[in-house]
Chains A and B, each alone.
Chain A
Amino acid sequence: MKDKEHIRFLQGNEACVEGALYAGIDFFAGYPITPSTEIMEHLASRLPQKGGKFIQMEDEIASMGAIIGASLTGKKVMTATSGPGFSLKQEALGYACMAEIPCVIANVQRGGPSTGNPTHVSQGDVNQAKWGTHGDHAIIALTASNHQDVFNITVEAFNMAETYRTPVIILLDEVIGHMREKLVIPEPGEITVVERLRTSVQKGVDYHPYLPREDGRLPMSDFGGEHRYNVTGLFHDMWGFPNNNPKVVSELLRHLMEKIETNVNNINMYKEYWLEDAEYILVSYGSSARSAIHLARNRRARGFKIGVLELQTLWPFPADMVREKCAGAKAIVVVEMNMGQVVTQVKNAVDHPNKVFLANRVDGELISPSNIKTLLRMIQGKGV
């Protein structure tokens, strides 16, 4: 039986904080922005209670810089933001990709572009999470539709950041961030927590910070430790020294892509509802998935063969899994609150892209089950 400490009624942003604490966050730097501010507010009070560090920086860019610096001293780090702030962080985010620095960035999505619709929901930053920073690069982005899952993906975000030495983006949305519901906080050990992999190379032996082990992982050495090495955003060799030799450049870029893309199956997290015999499949994620699941449950009760594929890993996009799950469907409806970002990925993934439809809403209101139902009826030729 869980006690009061472990059963909580809270906002999604707080569930994210609880997940970060469970994962062992040591350091947070941030800048206030709606609708993510509660993440930094709660960490401002919680982190020093466990001896961690919190700092409110002068801007979004500074926050991103500070967490990268802190990560290099061996700490688990995070920042949180929303659309405009996420735009500002992109250059430093690319630096973390290039220098392979573990860090977690929560983006609680609001309406955009620009200042947009700050207090309303949107899922418009899916493509930005992948392509926001310049140059070819791979990224991991996770999302969730309820607070238990927000907790879980936050722990996984920290785990993946350490495992793959990469920035990991948590893509929440305003509804999830601000909605209140139950969270059961797991006991320590119930969910695996991945710790920083540190080098076993001894003092006095040449340490290569950018030479992967056989399993592809790059053991780190904390700043302040015995190994002094260089970290740069320039293309670099295995010592971290700048190098623009074509072979070095090509190999590093391919390494940065492949370390993520060859692990799509390990990174992929998803949930499925009533897919076994589904003729109609709703593909959704985040708060939109709540409406998709609600509609499917009601339709199922009337004998309608409909299921839901809820994506939790958006990047790298799990194309093979989506193709397999959707193989037998008469129609696939992607439910999202943007002009069609994941739907493009789904069309690329499936065998029959002409069976893929978009059910969206972009007016700042949560897409409702009846919004989705309207489109479904049209697909079925039943009219509105």
Chain B
Amino acid sequence: MTKPAFNFKDYIRPRFFPHLWCPGCGHGIVLGSLLRAVHELGLDKNEIVITSGIGCSSRISGYVDFHSLHTIHGRALTFATGVKLSKPNLKAIVPMGDGDALAIGGNHFIHAARRNIDITAIVMNNRIYGMTGGQFSPLSGSGKKATTAPYSTIDRNFDVVELAKSAGATFVARSTVYHANECKDFLKQAISHKGFSVVEILTQCPTYYGRKNKEGDAIQMMEGYKTNTAKIGSKRLESNPHLIQRGIFVEDTTVPEYCEAYDKIIETAMKGKA
């Protein structure tokens, strides 16, 4: 039996549209890649819970026709942990912005990774707080302009991939919205991976980050993702090692998944009682 062709309308809630993202925002491409990934995996919409926090990126949860939980700033992973542990057969997907995931939510990010609970965390990295109007984030990096860094930032940035790796995430990947198909493929693998998976997707904010830092319009910023990144293992990266690396950095299936490990605790506890 062949799967029906992908149709956006099968996966969105028209009532929620038009969306609130600015013209030229990259988040819609992340949404498209995510929906295509879900479609290609053949998942039932009833088995997906999408949990988000607060910010531009977090609005993604309302647009999709899954069980959706739009929570409080930075804490989406904690709510998703409750959902997943109490009903492990559900697929937990958590899209987050860079501030949501790694400033206010940084502690939850590393602890979810440490537990290796089967949640797919998507970090939509536009290097800025968009919804509040262009303040720098922990992923902006130094020497950048923002409304709260009128003289330029002195804060260094996290490297999401390195942070996720060292915190124990068992699937770690990075792509950009320029590489929409690659995004979709990484998301498919992340959702299928049993354990905590992190997919960082570089996505442009022409309205605030682009304007403040004179990086041009959406198209120019997307071209930047093409020219400034390279796939790991590629010749291009070998000859330009300073480029931002894209690819799957970690895929480890040897670490026990948290909910499965807890099922063994239940088994032990029940025996102990009997």
- With A45-B269, A72-B83 in contact, is A65–B49 under 8 Å at CB? no
| B46 at interface by CB-CB < 8 Å | yes
One digit per residue, 1 when the CB lies within 8 angstroms of any chain A CB and 0 when it does not, for chain B 106-141 equals: 011001000000000000000000000000000000
A194 at the interface (CB under 8 A from B): no
Interface string of A229-241 (1 = CB under 8 A from B): 1111110000101
Cα–Cα, bound, A315→B272 (Å): 41
Q: Which residues of A contact B67 (CB under 8 A)?
A: 72, 223-224, 228-229
26 pairs, A vs B, C-beta closer than 8 Å = A27-B82, A29-B82, A48-B268, A48-B270, A53-B86, A55-B85, A57-B111, A61-B75, A62-B108, A65-B75, A66-B85, A68-B71, A68-B79, A70-B86, A73-B82, A73-B83, A73-B87, A75-B86, A95-B71, A223-B49, A224-B87, A228-B45, A228-B66, A229-B68, A232-B70, A241-B16
- Within 8 Å of chain A (Cβ to Cβ): is B89? yes
In the bound complex, how far is the Cα of B128 from the Cα of A174, in angstroms?
45
Q: Is A91 an interface residue (CB 8 A)?
A: yes
- In this complex, what residue of A is CB-closest to B89? A224
Q: Chain A binding site: helix, strand, loop or mixed by DSSP? A: mixed
A49 to B270, Cβ gap below 8 A? yes
B47 touches A224 (CB 8 A): yes
Q: Is A246 an interface residue (CB 8 A)?
A: no
CA of A177 to CA of B110 in the docked complex: distance in angstroms?
33
List residues of chain B with CB under 8 Å of any chain A CB: 13, 15-16, 45-47, 49, 51, 61-62, 65-72, 75, 78-87, 89-90, 107-108, 111, 262, 265-266, 268-270, 272-273
Q: Are B270 and A241 in contact (CB under 8 A)?
A: no
- Our count of residue pairs bridging A and B at CB distance below 8 angstroms stands at 137
Q: A69-B83, A223-B49, A223-B67 are in contact. Are A91 and B72 (CB under 8 A)?
A: yes
Q: Which 4 A-B pairs have the closest CB atoms?
A: A69-B82, A65-B78, A66-B82, A48-B269
Classify chain A's interface size: 35 or more
A363: CB under 8 A from chain B? no
Question: Is A383 close to B, CB under 8 A?
Answer: no
Contact across chains for B78 and A62 when beta carbons are under 8 A apart: yes
User: Which of A68, A69, A223, A225 is packed against the most chain B CB atoms within 10 Å?
Assistant: A69
Which residues of chain A have C-beta atoms less than 8 A from B268's C-beta? 48
Which residues in B have their C-beta under 8 angstroms from that of A92? Answer: 72, 75
Which of B66, B70, B82, B87 neighbours the largest number of chain A CB atoms within 10 Å of its CB?
Answer: B82
Q: B90 — which chain A residues lie within 8 A by C-beta?
A: 73, 223-224
Residue of A nearest to B84 (CB): A69
Tell whether A226 pairs with B82 under 8 Å between CB atoms, given A231-B70, A234-B70, A241-B62: no
Known pairs A63-B78, A67-B82, A228-B67 / 11 extra A-B pairs, C-beta < 8 Å: A48-B266, A57-B78, A58-B107, A69-B51, A69-B78, A69-B84, A73-B87, A228-B68, A230-B62, A231-B70, A241-B15
- Measured in the bound complex, the distance between the Cα atoms of B107 and A66 in whole Å is 14
A310: interface (CB < 8 Å): no
Query: B45: which A residues are within 8 A, CB to CB?
Result: 228
Contacts of A57 in B (CB 8 A): 78, 81, 111
User: In this assembly, does A59 line the interface, its C-beta being within 8 Å of a C-beta of chain B?
Assistant: yes
With CB as the reference atom, state the residue of chain B lying closest to A48: B269
- Looking at the assembled complex, report how far the CB atom of B221 sits from the nearest CB atom of chain A, in whole angstroms: 28
**Chain B CB within 8 A of A132 CB:** no
